[in-house]
Amino acid sequence: KSEKKKSVISIISQKKKDKNLIILNDFEEEIKKTKEFASILKKFCSSNFLLIADQNSRKNIFRSSSNIPNIKVTDFNHFSAYDLIKFKKLILTVSSVKELEKRLS
């Protein structure tokens, strides 16, 4: 495995150990209102998230998440180890977990 893969795996493992890793179901329907998406995030008691979503979920939440400060919504192709460190909580969708497992193994 490359050093980059090892570092990403290590950081995700630490997030899990620190209880800062959250896995959500895929977003099947579009969430149009920022307020609606913010209420979903509020359940996790933090305002500092990196959300790695599958392509379809990202499309469904992109607009509603764009006005929320301290959150980055991306997919499994566009995040870095720096992003994992910068944000306190890591949220993954079920489909993005499967894709990450394929890419990191």
What is the DSSP secondary structure assignment for residue 89, as one 8-state letter? E
The strands making up 71-75's β-sheet, listed across from edge to edge, are 21-24, 89-93, 49-53, 71-75
Residue of 63, 52, 69, 68 whose CA lies nearest to 103: 52
Pairing type for strands 49-53 and 71-75 reads parallel
At residue 77 the predicted structure's pLDDT band, cuts being 50, 70 and 90, is confident
pTM of the model: 0.88
Residue 45 has pLDDT above 80, yes or no: no
Say yes or no to pLDDT of 18 above 80.
yes
3-state helix, strand, coil in the chain (%, to 5): 50, 20, 30
